[in-house]
Amino acid sequence: MDAEVVIAGAGPNGLMLASELRLAGVRPIVLEKLPERSTVPRANGLVGQVVRMLDRRGLYERLSGTPGPPRPAPGFVFGAMPLPLDVLEENPVYLLPVPQVRIEEVLQERALELGVEIRRGHELTGLTQDADGVTVSLSGPDGAYQLRAGYLVGADGGHSTTRKLAGIDFPGVTNDSMVSRTGSAAVPPEYIEDGLLKIPGYGVVPPFLHQRTERGLFVWAPFPDRLPAISTGEWDTPPDGDVTFQELQESADRVLGVHLPLVEPTGEGVRQLRRVVGGNSRLASSFRSGRVLLVGDAAHVHSAIGGPGLNLGLQDAVNLGWKLAAEVQGWAPPGLLDTYESERRPVGERVVMHTQAQSALIAPGDDVTALRKLFGEFLTDPRNVLRVAELISGADIRYAEGSHPLVGRWAPDLMVGSVRLAELMRPARPLLVDLTPDASFADLVPEPVEVVTGRGEAPIALLIRPDGYIAWAAEQDGAAEREALRDAVAQWFQPRPLTSATR
């Protein structure tokens, strides 16, 4: 074998997966057809549980540029409607406003630090697979060649070559009705007061939040660390030819119903000016075909409204990484790798569902306005706010049922002595947190589970998967709890000779 795993695509999802595999002791090769990292502006940040997940890999501070753990966001939007998160006792929505260019830069730095091999300018052109591995055909700077690997993972986007070569269908719908325009654009300073955009004849526009009118969608994005931008969305037929700044100006005026003078910004920075017609909502018929697997946009595409894409894709990578490593290294219980699809595909379905619902809520028309009024009434109830907040953040995910209500859920933030759980999880290993006085559960778990002991309140013990989800929990030390722990170990981590390694 030339590689244990080959990853097609060096975007955020491919780089994250590569780092997860290296942390687990597997050496992947990452292939990318582009000779250099793209500088084209795309996503503007991260939304949801992925922010906390990056904290658990030691990447949050690198990306945020600020010390300490992430904090919940005081507010957000759903379908261009305010979501008052400050009414929640436990707010699951976290934001990290960092451009995708910087996210890719940090993830590449991390992958290289871990020893990942990244080959740029190498394009996937073919594949064949058998019971023992995958033969990958490539076109590189020096011509065509082949690699032999145990597994191939497609992290190569919505037009995934990997998916097409593997023969995996990509059913869904294409909607050509909406035209979105985005460009680097500033507004005159006299229109800004107390951090808000105040437009005569229209009203107040908060930064970064979608504004829906009867004529379309408007976003003002005064980025502090890069050129400001304006985005619009309309239901019309775009003109022929390349998009122009004047086209963006006219679109903003139509959506707002008044004239807002836009100014082409000066200074350094990547300028953007683009027009996108329509969009797709698609979900791969399978996330796996033999030894070929898909993550991120290769497995699912959807509207970008609400910014769920990287939350979904990066958590695909973290879910798959440890399972694929277990398969490669020979300690995976039967069927473990199949749980990647059974766990992540339903999550993809929910993201497609709620982005389609949000797209319906921003459409023009009196009937949509009435629907928004009704939906707004629902959002005056904190229970409904929590339901929506958990949906858009991914906090409603439960991968498995168990005797304890925490089983299958994201592990809560807790302290073990003076150490945060997020810090203990940075090696990306399975973890038993045993808070009993005499570490009574520690001798029941085998490698590769790492044991951390200490003192704390109930639950007195947690078995946590490398992706941060709970496989077992106990409130007391009893025979039933011990048997449930043995079952969880057998389900997720094939037993090896027992160890009692602790911190």
Domain residues of the chain, as ranges?
3-172+281-393, 176-278, 409-492
Question: Where do we find the tokens 């994005």?
Answer: 221
Q: What is the pLDDT of residue 502?
A: 33
**How high is the pLDDT of residue 393?**
95
Cβ(456)–Cβ(436) below 8 Å: no
pTM here is: 0.93
**CA distances in angstroms from 362 to 47, 79, 164, 203, 306, listed in the order given:** 20, 6, 33, 18, 12
pLDDT of residue 398: 93
CB contact at 8 A, 446 and 429:
no
Strands (E), 269-312: 273-283, 288-289, 292-294, 300-301
State the CATH class of domain 409-492: alpha beta
Query: Which CATH superfamily does the domain covering 3-172+281-393 fall into?
Result: FAD/NAD(P)-binding domain (3.50.50.60)
CB 300 within 8 A of CB 312: yes
Position 353 scores a pLDDT of 95
Report the alpha-carbon distance of residue 349 to residue 351 in Å, rounded: 6
The pLDDT, as a whole number, for residue 498 is 43
Which is it for strands 203-205 and 196-199: parallel, antiparallel or unpaired? antiparallel
Q: Which fold has domain 176-278?
A: Alpha-Beta Plaits (3.30.70)
pLDDT given for residue 305 in this prediction: 87
Per-residue pLDDT, 503: 35
Per-position pLDDT tens, the chain of length 503: 899 999 999 999 999 999 999 999 999 999 999 999 887 767 778 999 999 999 999 999 999 999 999 999 999 999 999 999 999 999 999 999 998 889 999 999 999 999 999 999 999 999 999 999 999 999 999 999 999 999 999 999 999 999 999 999 999 998 878 899 999 999 999 999 999 999 999 999 999 888 999 999 999 999 887 889 999 999 887 778 999 999 999 999 999 999 999 999 887 777 889 998 888 899 999 999 999 999 999 999 998 888 888 899 999 999 999 999 999 999 999 999 999 999 999 999 999 999 999 999 999 889 999 999 999 999 999 999 999 999 999 999 999 877 799 999 999 988 888 899 999 999 999 999 999 988 999 999 988 899 999 877 778 999 999 999 999 999 999 999 999 999 999 999 975 444 443 33
Placement of tokens 């229209």 in the chain: 202
**Sheet of strand 196-199, all strands in order from the earlier edge strand to the far edge:** 192-193, 196-199, 203-205
Sign of the torsion formed by the C-alpha atoms of 19, 24, 25 and 26:
negative
pLDDT of residue 225: 79
Q: What is residue 495's predicted lDDT score, i.e. its pLDDT?
A: 54
